[in-house]
């Protein structure tokens, strides 16, 4: 018996194989087309970032940051120029300088440890001199202290980081960016929920928070969903206020929740203190009648937020966009302000959200950038594709156009030549690498799902006409080379 281990994809991750991958490519390609028609440009982002970027932007109290992030300590890279050898150790001044440099590093637990170690070393150096400093350096190396790094659970934080890093506020007009790629969250895998999943997102960042921006973003989203046949969807919208009105509402909510605390389950009880808005997210049946009686944010918006929300709805009507208001739509991440929205689709069971998004004015500033308005969304590709497939709307994409059934070594050069020409014309062609019996060859063409078999035998080579067999109904045509190309191309356009 072999003791070789059978490797499998890690739980919550999966391979996307052909022909499914063609559907994925088409889905992403269509997003590019639609988004670019709205003048969005693609931003390609790193897959991992400093942990604190996510912790600060998404919020420590959210499920994503508290439970779901893939975080690891990077290998240590000695970032500051402290001495590595006895020769380099000149005096304790050197240690003081290095300590000072360490202090300028971002405040993370690892850096704090470094600074503490350094202070300790400085004291010993004053007494013992160079050997103490060397001991300290060795200690640091042994700790192998790298920065804490996280596989991105979402990409808005990275987009904002990039906006700041590349000084995009200096560019004319709003920045309209989209991204496509994998995200990572350590959740319980189930239908429509994976640990590596894929999102397509779009963000608008800049100085304006005009409701027309929110409406255009939603229009673009729905145009895209329509184009890919994701039509059995519902758009929910809400406004969750801003820093002027939300804190009072949250306090009111907290007071009301405290009164009914005993009737709530553990998670909600905890959230009364940590993040009362999240109680509105609860799906627990027993809690529903209680939540329905809680004060609603729409009755507590400040004048500016109320006007913004009213104008947004006007803008949606102008564009003929159907929506439903849902006062409980608060979204899982902390950074949202004013507009929040979600799109659900059919055929997905309980994981039915295919897109979530909203406004996040203030996030860029929170990350150390200039005051900036922002709005965006993230589409879940895995679930969208599931819903398209379950709705029976998945288009037949690509597929094999022609299988070349060649027979006899004398016809092989012609087969190679014709295959090259058909491929250059953009057709998908399978050329069997070895000679096969005619029956077997046609059987394989059928199994591969080819639309046509092109039969090339010695007779065909001699007469320079080829037999094209439509596999669906067995219909056969004799065509000269020029006619063949023309015919297959016209078929492809149909």
CA 209 to chain centre: 24
Q: Which part of the chain contacts ligand ATP (CB under 6 A), choosing from 84-92, 288-296, 349-357, 462-470?
A: 349-357
Q: Does 156 bind ligand ATP (CB under 6 A)?
A: no
Nearest residue relative to ligand ATP (C-beta): 380
Distant-in-sequence, close-in-space partners of 319: CB < 8 Å, separation ≥ 6: 215, 219
96-155 positions binding ligand ATP, by CB under 6 A: 154
Asked whether the beta carbons of 406 and 435 are under 8 A apart, the reply is yes
Q: Does 356 bind ligand ATP (CB under 6 A)?
A: yes
Q: Does 230 bind ligand ATP (CB under 6 A)?
A: no
Instruction: Select 65 or 468, whichever has its Cβ closest to ligand ATP.
Output: 65
Instruction: Select 335 or 452, whichever has its Cβ closest to ligand ATP.
Output: 335
Q: How far apart are CA 229 and CA 218, in angstroms?
A: 17
Minimum CB separation of residue 238 from ligand ATP in Å reads 14
Instruction: Select 92 or 238, whichever has its Cβ closest to ligand ATP.
Output: 238
Q: Which part of the chain contacts ligand ATP (CB under 6 A), choosing from 108-116, 168-176, 184-192, 234-242?
A: 184-192
Sheet bearing 324-325, strands edge to edge: 41-42, 175-184, 196-206, 373-380, 353-359, 337-345, 233-239, 324-325
Q: Measuring CA to CA, how many Å separate 195 from each of 50, 67, 187, 235, 348?
A: 19, 12, 6, 26, 17
Minimum CB separation of residue 17 from ligand ATP in Å reads 18
Q: Does 187 bind ligand ATP (CB under 6 A)?
A: yes
Interface residue with ligand ATP among 181, 332, 398, 408 (CB under 6 A) is: 332
Q: How far apart are CA 209 and CA 360, in angstroms?
A: 10
Q: What's the half-sphere exposure (Cβ side, CA atoms, 13 Å) at 203?
A: 27
What is the β-pairing status of strands 476-480 and 465-470? antiparallel
Q: Which part of the chain contacts ligand ATP (CB under 6 A), choosing from 116-124, 134-142, 192-200, 292-300?
A: 192-200
364-383 positions binding ligand ATP, by CB under 6 A: 378, 380, 382-383
Instruction: Select 152 or 451, whichever has its Cβ closest to ligand ATP.
Output: 152
Asked whether the beta carbons of 162 and 175 are under 8 A apart, the reply is no
Interface residue with ligand ATP among 56, 161, 185, 278 (CB under 6 A) is: 185
Asked whether the beta carbons of 154 and 116 are under 8 A apart, the reply is no
Interface residue with ligand ATP among 354, 386, 418, 422 (CB under 6 A) is: 354
Residue 47 token pair: 């897959």
Minimum CB separation of residue 450 from ligand ATP in Å reads 34
The long-range contacts involving 481-490, CB below 8 angstroms and separated by at least 24 positions, are: 481/418, 481/421, 484/418, 484/454, 485/421, 485/422, 485/425, 488/401, 488/402, 488/422, 488/425, 488/427, 488/452, 489/425, 489/426, 489/427
Q: Which part of the chain contacts ligand ATP (CB under 6 A), choosing from 187-195, 318-326, 411-419, 430-438?
A: 187-195
Q: Does 355 bind ligand ATP (CB under 6 A)?
A: yes
453-482 positions binding ligand ATP, by CB under 6 A: none
Give bridge partners of residue 49 from the DSSP assignment: 150
Q: Does 326 bind ligand ATP (CB under 6 A)?
A: no
Asked whether the beta carbons of 241 and 253 are under 8 A apart, the reply is no
Instruction: Select 185 or 451, whichever has its Cβ closest to ligand ATP.
Output: 185
Q: Does 390 bind ligand ATP (CB under 6 A)?
A: no
Q: Does 353 bind ligand ATP (CB under 6 A)?
A: yes
Burial class (CB in 10 A: 0-12, 13-18, 19+), 239: buried
Minimum CB separation of residue 294 from ligand ATP in Å reads 20
Binding site for ligand ATP (CB under 6 A): 154, 185, 187, 192-194, 197, 199, 332, 351, 353-356, 378, 380, 382-383
């Amino acid at each position: 018996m072999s003791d070789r281990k059978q490797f499998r994809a890690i739980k919550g991750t999966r391979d996307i194989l052909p022909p499914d991958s063609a559907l994925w490519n088409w889905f992403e390609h269509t997003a590019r087309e639609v988004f670019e028609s709205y003048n969005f440009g693609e931003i390609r982002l790193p897959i991992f970032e400093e942990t604190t970027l996510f912790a600060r932007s998404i919020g420590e109290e959210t499920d994503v940051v508290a439970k779901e992030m893939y975080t690891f300590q990077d290998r240590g890279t000695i970032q500051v120029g402290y001495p590595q050898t006895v020769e380099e150790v000149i005096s304790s001044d050197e240690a003081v300088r290095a300590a000072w440099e360490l202090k300028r590093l971002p405040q993370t637990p690892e850096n704090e440890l470094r600074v503490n170690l350094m202070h300790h070393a400085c004291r010993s150096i004053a007494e013992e001199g160079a050997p103490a400093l060397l001991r300290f350096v060795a200690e640091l190396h042994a700790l192998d202290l790298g920065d804490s790094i996280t596989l991105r659970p979402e990409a808005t934080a990275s987009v904002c980081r990039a906006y700041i890093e590349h000084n995009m506020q200096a560019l004319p007009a709003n920045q309209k960016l989209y991204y496509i790629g994998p995200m990572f969250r350590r959740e319980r895998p189930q239908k429509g929920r994976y640990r590596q999943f894929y999102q397509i997102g779009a963000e608008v960042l800049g100085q304006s928070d005009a409701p027309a921006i929110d409406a255009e973003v939603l229009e673009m989203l729905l145009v895209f969903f329509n184009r890919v046949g994701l039509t059995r969807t519902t758009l929910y919208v809400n406004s969750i206020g801003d820093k002027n009105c939300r804190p009072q509402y949250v306090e009111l909510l907290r007071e009301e929740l405290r009164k009914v605390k005993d009737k709530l389950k553990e998670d909600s009880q905890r959230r009364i203190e940590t993040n009362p808005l999240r109680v509105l997210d609860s799906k627990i049946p027993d809690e529903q009648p209680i939540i329905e009686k809680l004060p609603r944010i729409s009755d507590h918006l400040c004048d500016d937020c109320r006007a913004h929300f009213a104008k947004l709805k006007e803008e949606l009507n102008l564009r003929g966009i159907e929506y439903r208001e849902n006062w409980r739509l608060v979204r899982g991440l902390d950074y949202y302000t004013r507009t929040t929205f979600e799109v659900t689709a059919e055929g997905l069971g309980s994981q039915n959200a295919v897109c979530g998004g909203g406004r996040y004015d203030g996030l860029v500033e929170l990350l150390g950038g200039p005051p900036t308005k922002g709005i965006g969304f993230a589409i879940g590709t895995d679930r969208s594709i599931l819903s398209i497939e379950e709705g029976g709307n998945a288009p037949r994409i690509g597929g094999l156009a022609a299988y070349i059934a060649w027979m006899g070594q004398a016809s092989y050069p012609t087969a190679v030549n014709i295959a090259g020409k058909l491929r250059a014309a953009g057709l998908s062609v399978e050329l069997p690498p070895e000679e096969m019996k005619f029956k077997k060859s046609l059987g394989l063409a059928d199994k591969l799902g080819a639309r046509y078999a092109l039969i090339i035998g010695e007779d065909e080579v001699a007469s320079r006409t080829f037999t094209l067999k439509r596999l669906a109904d067995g219909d056969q045509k004799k065509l000269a080379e020029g006619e063949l190309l023309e015919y297959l191309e016209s078929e492809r356009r149909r």
